[in-house]
Amino acid sequence: MVQGIRLTQPDVAPAYDRWALQYDDNHNPTRDLDASVVRAAPLLLRGRDVLEFGCGTGKNTAWLAAQAQHVVALDFSLGMLEVAKRRVQASNVHFLQHDVRERWPLEDEAVDVVVGNLVLEHVEDLVPIYEEAARVLRMGGQLFLCELHPYKQLLGSRARFTDRDTSETVHVTAFVHTTAEYVNAGLGAGFTLVQLGEWSDPGATVGDAPRLLSVLFERRRSHAVS
């Protein structure tokens, strides 16, 4: 199953390897709005253990690390991880190259908070992601996700960049997930939905599609061991 998924999107990690050196400098309102959305989320981070998947260049890792006890930050793009490691040199952060579609390299009930931002657009099957989050979270733990809003995706938005060296526009493989999918996959994994957010650009008017969708879940039930 995981191998099958991998074959359908072999371009994603290489695309982010290419994007890495310009990711932080490009005009990117999605990246910037996400930074403010996660910082406004009611996450209980102080002194807690956090897993961030798809950490990218560490835009949110630095902020998580400033509050948490320990952060494990996963990404499968070595290029993105290299930039993140230069940016975040805090001793409480542990970066790992890992594909989130595979079993996460953590014990059961190892962390208090799982955070994933702008990653699931690139993952076809959400169910294993939520199941892994439920497995690694302690009771009472929080799962926070923030993604490009499906309305925005249906209007044609998806992760892309123009390579500074070649002027080529690179479209990264992306999948549309509806709001119901984001919510129901969480409920199916045993999470309780705490907050659903829809976030618009500063200055957006009524009728503009929201740019981002966020979901906050809590683990209030035991994870069913499979």
φ/ψ of 56, rounded to 5, equals: 60, -135
CB–CB of 113/94 below 8 Å? no
Distance CA 69, CA 92 (A): 7
- Lookup: tokens for 193: 């939905």
C-beta closer to ligand SAM: residue 56 or 186: 56
Least spacing, CB of residue 129 vs ligand SAM, in Å? 9
Q: How far is the CB of 71 from ligand SAM (least distance, A)?
A: 13
Closer to ligand SAM by Cβ: residue 201 or 224: 201
d(CA 218, CA 143): 6
Instruction: Tell me the residue number closest to ligand SAM, measured at CB.
Output: 56
Residues that bind ligand SAM (CB under 6 A): 12-13, 16, 31, 34, 54-56, 59-60, 75-77, 80, 99-101, 117-119, 122-123, 159
Nearer to ligand SAM, 163 or 222 (CB): 163
> Which parts of the chain fold into alpha helices (H)?
2-8, 12-23, 29-40, 61-67, 78-87, 127-136, 150-154, 179-188
Q: Which residue number, 54 or 150, has a Cβ lying nearer to ligand SAM?
A: 54
Nearer to ligand SAM, 102 or 109 (CB): 102
CA distance 44 to 56: 22
Q: How far is the CB of 123 from ligand SAM (least distance, A)?
A: 6
Provide, rounded to whole angstroms, the least separation between the CB of residue 59 and ligand SAM: 4
> What is the nearest approach in angstroms of ligand SAM to the Cβ of residue 186?
18
Neighbouring C-beta atoms of residue 220, cutoff 10 Å:
12
